[in-house]
Amino acid sequence: MRNVKVYKEVTLRRETHQTLLSDGELELIEDRPGPCIRVRRLRGCAVFLQFGIDNEELQGGVGHYTTAVIEWPDGLLESVPVNMVRFITPRNNNAPHEDKTDD
């Protein structure tokens, strides 16, 4: 099992985000012209269990997206969008999906 940092996407007014970005509390997602900016705010650390899939109703039908199933320190399980997770422990070097070649 690997440890992960879990984030939440938030939208802030442009004038308030500079201080928080410089403090390292937020990570910039998208900086488009306008009064607001999209950032990721750290929610905490958890244990990654596996990848999953979820769906969302859209105007043109159903959209599917990849999720990460995580376990919080208090035992609560949650499925979060995969782009809101960052691995903080290295991958096991003996993982079966890695292609090892001797050169």
Q: What is the pLDDT of residues 9-21, one digit of tens each?
A: 888 777 665 656 6
Helix (H, G, I), strand (E, B) or coil at 76: coil
The CA distance from 52 to 103, in Å, is: 35
The model carries a pTM of: 0.69
Residues 6+ apart with CB under 8 A from 86: 4, 5, 7
pLDDT at residue 102 tops 60: no
What's the chain's average pLDDT? Answer: 80
Residues 6+ apart with CB under 8 A from 6: 42, 43, 44, 45, 46, 70, 80, 84, 85
